[in-house]
Structure formats: C-alpha cells, structure tokens
Amino acid sequence: MRTEPAAAALWDGGWYRFARRHPSPNFGPRPAGAQVDLLVVHSISLPPGVYGGNEVMELFDNRLDWDAHPYFAQIRGLQVSAHFYIRRQGELWQFVDCDQRAWHAGRSHWRGRDECNDDSIGIELEGLEGGPFEPAQYETLASLCTALAHHYPIAYVAGHEHVAPGRKQDPGPGFDWAALQQSTGWPARVFPAQATGIRQD
C-alpha cells in the first residue's frame, strides 16, 4: 500500500510518531512477502484487574519481577510482546516496529491463514478480560487504527478470542466493537462476524 505524504509524516519506518517508544527484545522478522493486513485487539493487566503500574511494560521487555506477586508464578519466564499498548487514560506505547513480527497472538488462524503473528499488528488494551474499557482507550484505538490503515493494507480487525478461539477470551464481551466501527467508519466485512453490535449496512 502506497503511503501518502501526509500519512508518512506520522511514521518513522514502522514506528508511530504519536506513541511512546519502549522497544522490546521480543520480536523477529516477518516472513518474506508477508502482507500486514490484520489488527488483533487484546486486553492485558498485571496482576489481572490492577491498573496503572509498569508491570505490562516490564513483561514485554523481560524485566518483570516474577516474585513480586503470586499470579506471576503462572507466567514465569514468558516472553511476549505486542506492537502497541493503550493504557486506561488513552496513553499509547509502542514496543515493536510494525515492520517486524511481535509475539502476541500465539497459535492462531484468521482469514484462511495460520500464525497470525506473521502478518498482523497486535494492540493491547489495559483492561481485564471481559471487563469494560475506557472512552479514552477507544479514542486512541480508533485514531491508531486509522493511522495504521494509511500505512499498511489493513483489511481486517479481530480480537484475540477470534483468532485463537477456545484458547483465548480477550478482549471479551466488555469490548464495544460497535463503538470501534462507528469511530473508524469501516464496513462490517472488516470485523469478525461474531462481534456484537456491528452494523451491516
């Protein structure tokens, strides 16, 4: 997809200029010829339901103190990342260059393809799986989706629960897919058929 000059000003390669950079070591090259056309929406909080700390950033750059909370024993040694992280107040962080492969979706399948990490961009929302998200997060997410669609041939948006059903449940029923569709103005075909509230017109 050719980037328009105005849209190009938003980007430094695969780094979005309006996000705070916090590079993660957890990434790799995308396969040759990968078409980055999918956005995968996730939710995360560490410990679950606790907001405002630095634990998610520490997880993504392999500095989390595994002994700081009993829950962390369940994820000890985990090496993961996402391209973006949107905090409760709408603050946007970026961990991986979008031209690179982040480690967010795991075993997954969407639009007839396996291994969604190969050709997707992962966006984490600070929140509890199944719980509600803040208006500021939707505002940042919609703006980010639009910027990504000007830089990459984005054709699909799905939740982690859709690309890895039965294994993952985030962002869950608390996520307002209709609000995202309304904010982006994108047609129903972009979103999962299972997403509630999506207008088909």
**Catalytic amino acids?**
124
Distance (Å, whole) CA 178 – CA 142: 12
Residue 142 phi/psi, 5-degree rounding, is -65, -40
Please, where are the H alpha helices in the chain? 5-8, 55-60, 135-151, 160-163, 177-184
Dist. CA 89–CA 47, nearest whole Å: 18
CA 7, 9, 15, 16 dihedral sign is: negative
